[in-house]
Amino acid sequence: MRHQDIRVAVVTGASAGVGRATVRLLARRGIAVALLARGRVGLDAAAEEVRAAGGRALPIEVDMADHDQVVDAGRRVETELGPIDLWINNAFSSVFAPFQQTRPEEFRRATDVTYLGYVHGTRAALSHMTPRDRGTIVQVGSALAYRGIPLQAAYCGAKHAIVGFTEALRCELLHERSNVKLTMVHLPALNTPQFDWLLSRLPRHAEPVPPIYEPEVAARAIVGAADRPGRRAYWVGAPTVLTILGNRVAPGLLDRYLARTGYRSQQTGGPVDHDRPNNLWQPLDGPGGHDHGVRGSFSSRAHSRSPQAWLSRHRLAAVAGVLGTAAGVLAWRRH
For residue 71, is it within any domain?
yes
Which one of 115, 118, 146, 155 is the catalytic residue? Answer: 155
pLDDT of residue 11: 98
Measured from the Cβ of residue 272, the count of other Cβ atoms closer than 10 Å reads: 18
Q: 49 Cβ partners below 8 Å, 6+ apart?
A: 23, 24, 27
Residue 325 has pLDDT above 50, yes or no: no
Q: What secondary structure does DSSP assign to 126-142, as a single string?
A: HHHHHHHT--EEEEEEE
How do residues 121-133 score in pLDDT, each as one tens digit? 999 999 999 999 9
User: Terminus-to-terminus CA distance in the chain, angstroms?
Assistant: 41
Cα separation values, 177 from 23, 130, 163, 173, 180, Å: 30, 11, 21, 6, 9
Distances (CA, A) of 108 to 104, 115, 147, 280: 6, 10, 20, 11
Inform me whether the pLDDT recorded for 312 exceeds 70.
no
Q: Highest mean pLDDT range out of 56-65, 224-233, 267-276? A: 56-65
Domain assignment of residue 135, yes or no: yes
- Whether 315 has a pLDDT exceeding 80, the answer reads no
234 is catalytic: no
Residue 105, pLDDT above cutoff 90: yes
Helix (H, G, I), strand (E, B) or coil at 34: strand
Q: What percent of the chain stands above pLDDT 90?
A: 75
- CA quadruple 38, 40, 44, 46: dihedral sign: negative
Q: Is residue 326 part of a domain?
A: yes
CATH number, residue 84: 3.40.50.720
pLDDT of residue 175: 98
User: Which domain, by its residues, includes 310?
Assistant: 3-271+300-334
Rounded to whole angstroms, the Cα distance separating 232 from 251 reads 24
Could you tell me if residue 292 is inside a domain? no
User: What is the pLDDT of the chain when averaged over all its residues?
Assistant: 90
Instruction: Convert the pLDDT of each residue in 21-56 to its tens digit.
Output: 999 999 999 999 999 999 999 999 999 999 999 999
Count other C-beta atoms under 10 Å from residue 48's C-beta: 13
The predicted pLDDT at position 331 comes to 46
Question: Is 170 a member of any domain?
Answer: yes
Q: What is the pLDDT of residue 230?
A: 85
At 2, the pLDDT band (50, 70, 90 cuts) reads low
CA angle 132, 135, 137 (to 5 degrees): 135
Considering the domain boundaries, does residue 280 fall inside one? no
pLDDT at 244 over 70: no
Q: Does position 321 have pLDDT exceeding 60, yes or no?
A: no
pLDDT in tens, 140-158: 999 899 889 999 999 999 9
In angstroms, the Cα distances linking 229 to 184, 233, 313 are 9, 9, 10
Number of domains in the chain: 1
Q: What is the mean pLDDT of residues 242-246?
A: 56
